[in-house]
Structure 1
Amino acid sequence: MKSFLILALLYLAYVDWRTFRLPNVITLPLIFLGIVFNCVSDLSLTSPASALLGGILGYGSLWALNAGYRLLKNRNGIGMGDAKLLAALGAWLGLHSLPTILLIASITGLIGGIVWLKWNRHNVGNAFPFGPFLAFAGIIELLWPQLIQTLILPRLI
């Protein structure tokens, strides 16, 4: 199942990079499959409760962030496809994985955003696909769980 999740994430990253869209036809079933997989499989990646809470809080956190941004700027700051992708990652990998995924995606997205702006000569107000960085962070968390906590944080402290 890890291979299935990685392929789905790579596909979503590619689509978002090219179209600035994360299709519901992929993200919504991915949320459902993550919860079901963790409820019925002997190879589950997290507990059923953590999968359900990961899905809810994955979506809810980016929804709340966007709602706050919309109140300040009167426009969306992040697409809800990104929120659905984070919900899918939370459903597959559990609630505990969300902070690490968001940290990795934010750092790589910041670096990627700077490169994107320089390469395409855009200004800061232009849209930028965040889904590829969420997918990348999800793959890292899937293959090397707790990488930040075990390898990087102890060296920083």
Structure 2
Amino acid sequence: MAILSFALLCALCAVLAWIDIRHGIIPDWVNGAIAGLGLLRMFMAADFVASLAAFGEGAVIGAVFWLLRRLYFALRGIQGLGLGDIKFLAAAGIWVGIEGVPMLLLVATLTALACVGAMQVSGRALTAQTAMSFGPFLAAGLLVTSAFQQYGF
């Protein structure tokens, strides 16, 4: 069950990345599918109480990042994270828990920085106003963190 659920997560993350790159949004149905699959995996591996705890962690993570989004907007006057990213982080929290969020964000940030560096080296002009979809990097962070937690690599 663990390998099948991880394979489905990989497929959902690929769909998420494709849609976010092409359209600049993360659809609610993708976030819902990732959350639902995570809850199903937790229920099959443990029990209802563990599933409920995972749901609670996802809700807390979503709330924290929603508050950070609001704070950033209050300070800068622009949105830093989209609501799709916030919903994705809540769904990802079901998979990796609160303890996995720092690693997820580290992987997402490092891969985004590597992409920006490659764009800069290739001669693409980047400014502080350049918008970039963060969903694909968050998806990579979720996959790496989940694989590390489940399989130890």
Structure 1: which 5+ residue stretches go unaligned?
152-157
- How do residues 141-156 of structure 1 correspond to structure 2 at under 5 angstroms? 141-145=145-149
Return the match for 1:107 from 106, 110, 113: 110
Give the aligned residue type for 1:86: L
Structure 2: which 5+ residue stretches go unaligned?
none
How big is each residue's C-alpha offset from its partner over 1:90-144, in whole Å with a ceiling of 9 and x where there is no partner?
A: 1122222111111211222222233345554232212111111111111111212
Q: Report the secondary structure of 1:145's partner residue.
A: helix
Partner of 2:79: 76
Partner of 1:42: 45
The size of the alignment, in residue pairs, is 146
Partner of 1:154: none
The answer to whether structure 1 residue 54 and structure 2 residue 57 are counterparts is yes
The whole-number CA distance in structure 2 between the counterparts of 1:146 and 1:107 is 21
How big is each residue's C-alpha offset from its partner over 1:64-93, in whole Å with a ceiling of 9 and x where there is no partner?
A: 221111001222111111111111111122
8 Å contact from structure 1 (residues 54, 98) kept in 2: no
The answer to whether structure 1 residue 93 and structure 2 residue 92 are counterparts is no
The whole-number CA distance in structure 2 between the counterparts of 1:138 and 1:19 is 21
The answer to whether structure 1 residue 22 and structure 2 residue 23 are counterparts is no
TM-score (norm 2): 0.81
Partner of 2:136: 132
Please give the root-mean-square deviation of Cα atoms over the aligned residues, in Å: 2.5
Change beyond 3 A, Cα 1:117–1:23: farther
